[in-house]
Amino acid sequence: MKSLKYLNIINTINLLLASYISQTTAFGGKTNKQVTEYIESKGKICLFPKNKAFAIWGLIYFLLILFSVVSLFSFNNISNLVNSKVSAFYFLSTVFTIAWLILFARRYKGRKCFQSLAAMTGILFSLGKIYISLAPLLPIFTFWQKLCYFYPFSIYFGWIIIAFILNLSYCLREGRIVKKYSRLERLLYLFFQLSTIFISALIVLLFKDYSVPAVFCWALYFIYQKSRNSITFTLLISNLLLLATIIL
């Protein structure tokens, strides 16, 4: 079991290093920050949040560090159970994240962008497996255990769902599968936003977890702030999302 705890530490360190290097090193001629700025400036994604939204990465990294440190020095049954459910898929998500960071910088034009989307699908799958494994344990978790073991991955999972939707919308347009400002594009964006409501309702109904819906509200609010002139209905969607979680 100790090996799993050390693996968690290694995963977190690798994730932090990969994130830092991707922002400072040009893998394919541009850093990930420059690629993001290019996509934003060209209007490649209609539903693009304000930069303040990405501050959530600071919270995610902090919680992952907290998880790694606490799990390393905890020897109770809950800690061992969490490590047995999390460590392998956390490692897998880290591998896919590093792959995505590299591919995102090198394959962001044309249909090559679907290569990076494939890596992001791997991240989504890995975090989804972690979430589904931990969510049934919520009733027996104390608040501290939720903070250390569950929220690091639930918030991470929620944000990756949003990131996947944004990347998919970018690939559909960049790959010229969907034309800019077409009726199909608008229908897809509406579907993406409505899907967040469905996912939120499902999560709250099944697991009584509000952290993932809260991440959705965070993202949708800053999308509205960024694009209020063209898609004012985003605020309505975020309000409906919040209302749905409260009612359920």
Domain limits at 203? 1-245
Instruction: Give residue 181's pLDDT.
Output: 58
The structural domain count of the chain equals 1
pLDDT tens, position by position, 123-133: 999 999 999 99
What is the structure's pLDDT at 107? 59
* CA–CA gap between residue 242 and residue 220 (Å, rounded): 11
Residue 77, number of CB atoms within 10 A of its CB: 8
C-alpha dihedral sign at 103, 107, 111, 113: positive
Average pLDDT, the chain: 81
- Cβ proximity of 175 and 113 under 8 Å: yes
The predicted structure's pLDDT at residue 1:
60
- Residue 126 identity (one-letter amino acid): S
Looking at residue 194, its pLDDT comes to 76
Report the pLDDT value the prediction gives residue 43, as an integer from 0 to 100. 59
Q: Which residues contact 116 (CB under 8 A, 6 or more apart)?
A: 100, 103, 104, 107, 108, 167
Mean per-residue pLDDT for 69-98?
Answer: 91
Query: pLDDT confidence of 60, banded at 50, 70, 90?
Result: very high
